[in-house]
Structure 1
């Protein structure tokens, strides 16, 4: 399929600067003046090439901070206001007069027509060729969404909680086209536990081995399909997808719209029937994605389903040590003792992104204050990360299993039509706990309890609420179940 040439847009272009000012106003309104002044005031736009907005900052520390804490917010606002549907690329401004960042300079060269007097190296002209210079993250354009070369198998920190998912990912990436033992692979995990890293590692390793790979986030898949419909190129879009060896889709829970879900389902069926590999990730089990078409959930649940588990303390310490080592390579005077690493890994028990935030906070303290990082200063630096720890996410399935065990019945009994007292009471308690401890709606809870109507769930919730207000022992019993589920 022919690739349309995109003329570079210079930073001096008035329309580009107007659009950039709109981005800045949106960020200031969303984040507040203090945050904007601290982290975004020195962010500048250098140009747009090939659908990518090239942004620059004066220091590596500021670049790392923005990537760790505001990458998604920056990407969304740039896509909303700039002609940059493929997202953004951050780089550090050079101190010389030529302020054009190296990634932009290379992209401009690749976008020139063949008649240009400046030759384009063959490797740089290939789709997905590296655009980053030494020390910068390399981004590869793969059918709609960019890949970050830092998210490789080599950079993934393995522990007990993610060992199985890592092994499955490596096996799939290395398998010859059409010969994968696990198809589809469905990974599910909460925020910041590494599922996106694994997906990107699979895509990059498979591509390195010569496979045709398409990597999408859910929003990029929806954007690509809607754009194809508007430009009347939907058939070409579908044919392009069906001609690949590996489809990777992240955050599948965000795919919305009946027509888009239908197309996604058709694509999955066509690829699986042709023996092509599919890897999908979501924030929970496929069967729990109520907003997703049932046929898609069934297809995803019919392959290998692996949970990327919570980070235990040992794994958090390994991840933090790796992050700090990377920061120390750029800041040789920045040193953190093993005691501080152990302390941070113990108290920041949420996810990998908060560990990134902790590492950046320690660096900020050391570089801005000029002092060594001690346990006392580390405690002050990461206090907000400790305070914002989220409780464990409770699943309806876990509630049903625990209540069934507690009342000596089976989970099948709870889901059945049986109406004996020995079954009705635990069923109603499980419904009550599902309403109290999960964000699911009454109709969703009813479906998970054997396809019951939402009025049945509401009746159960009200009955248990009344019972625990009158019966002290039942109140304590239900409270104990709550604590057990949330620990």
Structure 2
């Protein structure tokens, strides 16, 4: 395994524990500059990124490198350096039509290029590559139906489910099948939609925004929950939705929760989004998880015994993304050490990862429910706008627990607490942390 493959495996692990925004912002354009004996040098694009990674992510990078290489690395250094070979920076998506490696599995064995085309679609996300099981068969059937009868059968179609269960795969599979019959298709995340709206309006090019999002036959919007609390974005999307729906243009949307559970989402927009077909993707059962692992092994041309596949599938249950991350680690470590995987070696390789995943299993929803129950208040009041003392303190406690126990970023925590700004989350966390230190001293 060369330096690029090692770094792709490290990035695969880092992705499990960071928000998408932080992952792309800080780890894009990073690479292994040199790996000699027990010292690794990581190349970063600028001094600001270098300082941030050293302060925030050094421990995780160091641990991941040791686990993947199984070498007693003594030192990991960072230096500003421009990547000479652009192909080694293939882990990340961009908005341009370039060849890149899919982040869905971080596949360094299958070197077939993956194209993000002018529609914003990843060419690997197809119905043919989607593993259908009990938890997603209705969602898959509904997606195929809207391609067969766009604007007629289910419009809008809303797919909701937890992180890493295949919503984006299905959403883009709809687009990849639809572009065979029309070129008026557009895929965008809700964050991209918001960014486009803000920048075109500020620049006095509102017409360009309307032309981009309304002159389509099929609009695919990913992670609509991030529109919560963004009044201008919601207003723009409301009118975009109405225009397309009135013209019988198909709209497909994904969310990590039911539309009624999105904080700070305007009622009229929620009503529109929920007016069509709503389908849920649930956790895959063990048979489906094993099938996913078998398919990924086949893609990577790597063989694992059923006993090992069953072990991985039995212990990684909450996300297909986590399942693929575990598989990637197993393959990376054994290839680096040129060894054959056994159940015992796989248990050893995955030990700390499984501990991390158990920590991640504590969700924001769990914390909100427990906090509301403990303080005898409703979740609606807990995440609401009222600022009575008996609500503010439990709210701050919930924010503190989310940061400590769920690995959520501050912006993500803000979204969970009624669509608040990330600075509110930071202030609340610091206040409770400070109070805990005072209590320990007294």
TM-score (norm 2): 0.65
Q: Describe the shift of the 1:235–1:318 C-alpha distance in structure 2 as closer, same or farther (beyond 3 A).
A: same
2:88 is equivalent to residue 57 of structure 1 = yes
C-alpha separation between the residues in 2 aligned to 1:440 and 1:147? Answer: 41
Residues 435-446 of structure 1: pairs in structure 2 closer than 5 A: 435=373, 441=379, 443=381
**How far does the alpha carbon of each residue in 1:414-461 deviate from its partner, in whole angstroms, 9 at most, with x for none?**
xxxxxxxxxxxxxxxx987854599985525789xxxxx897996xx9
Q: 1:283 to 1:235 in 2, by over 3 A?
A: same
Cα distance change, pair 318–454 in 1 and its aligned pair in 2 (3 A):
farther
Q: Paired residue for 1:205?
A: 177
Separation in 1, partners of 2:369, 2:234: 30
| Number of equivalent positions | 330
Shift, 1:28, TM fit: 4.3
2:249 to 267, 276, 284: 276
Tell me, in whole angstroms, the C-alpha distance in 1 between the residues paired with 2:284 and 2:46: 39
Note if contact 2:98-2:115 (Cα within 8 Å) is conserved in structure 1. Answer: no
Contact 2:96 2:117 (8 Å CA) reproduced: no
Question: Which one of the candidate residues 226, 231, 245 is aligned to 1:254?
Answer: 226
Q: Does residue 294 of the first structure (1) align with residue 325 of the second (2)?
A: no
Q: Which residue of 2 aligns with 1:156?
A: 130
Q: How does 1:353-372 map to 2 (within 5 A)?
A: 353-372=321-340
Match status 1:382 vs 2:360: no
* Separation of aligned partners in 2, 1:438 and 1:173: 47
Tell me the residue number matched to 2:278. 305
Quote the Cα distance in structure 1 between the aligned partners of 2:79 and 2:128.
Answer: 33
Aligned equivalent of 1:348: 316
Matches within 5 A, 1:65-84: 67=91, 71=92
Q: Which residue of 1 aligns with 2:155?
A: 183
Identify which of 24, 31, 38 aligns with 2:57: 31
**Residue by residue, what CA displacement relative to the aligned partner does 1:55-77 show, whole Å, maximum 9, x if unpaired?**
4329xxxx6xxx4xxx5xxx6xx
| Residue in 2 that maps onto 1:112 | none
Does structure 1 retain, via aligned residues, the 8 Å contact 2:216–2:249? Answer: yes
Per-residue CA distance 1:141-191 (angstroms, 9 max, x = gap): 22xxx321111111101101100000001111232x44x300000111111
Runs of 4+ off more than 3 Å: 17-30, 36-47, 84-92, 390-396, 430-442, 444-447, 453-458
1:295 positional shift = 1.0
Gaps in structure 1 of 5+ consecutive residues = 1-16, 48-53, 76-83, 93-132, 329-333, 397-429, 448-452, 462-487
Aligned match for 1:335, one of 299, 303, 313: 303
Counterpart CA distance in 1 for 2:376 and 2:257 is 13
RMSD: 4.0
Q: Does the CA-based 8 Å contact 2:99-2:114 persist in structure 1?
A: no
User: Secondary structure at the residue paired with 2:87?
Assistant: strand
2:93 matches 1:137: no
**Deviation of 1:87 (Å):** 10
Question: SS in structure 2 opposite 1:158?
Answer: coil
**Conserved 8 A contact 1:46-1:56:** no
Equivalent residue for 2:188?
216
The question of whether the paired residues in 2 share the 8 Å contact of 1:45 and 1:55 is answered with no
CA contact (8 A) 2:158 2:274 kept: yes
User: 2:253 aligns to what SS in structure 1?
Assistant: strand
1:174 equivalent in structure 2: 148
Question: Aligned with 2:187: secondary structure?
Answer: strand
Q: Structure 1's 205 and 377: CA in aligned 2 closer, same or farther, altered over 3 A?
A: same
Aligned equivalents of 2:256 and 2:327: distance in 1?
A: 25
Give the Cα–Cα distance (whole angstroms) in 1 for the partners of residues 382 and 208 of structure 2: 37
Mark the structure with the bigger radius of gyration: 1
Question: Higher relative contact order at CA 8 Å, sep ≥6: structure 1 or structure 2?
Answer: 2
**Does the CA contact (< 8 Å) of 1:174 and 1:205 recur in 2?**
no
Judging changes above 3 Å, is the alpha-carbon distance between structure 1 residues 85 and 164 closer, same or farther for their aligned structure 2 residues? Answer: closer
Question: CA separation of 1:166/1:436 partners in 2, compared to 1, >3 Å: closer, same or farther?
Answer: farther
Distance 2:376 2:163 in 1: 17
Q: Secondary structure at the match of 1:148?
A: coil
CA 1:157 to 1:214, structure 2 compared with 1: closer, same or farther past 3 Å? same
Distance 1:443 1:319 in 2: 41
Q: Cα distance 1:21–1:204, how it changes in 2: closer, same or farther (>3 A)?
A: farther
Query: Residues 23 and 439 from structure 1, CA distance in 2 versus in 1: closer, same or farther, beyond 3 angstroms?
Result: farther
Gaps of 5+ in 2: 1-42, 69-76, 103-109, 395-442
The whole-number CA distance in structure 1 between the counterparts of 2:389 and 2:78 is: 55
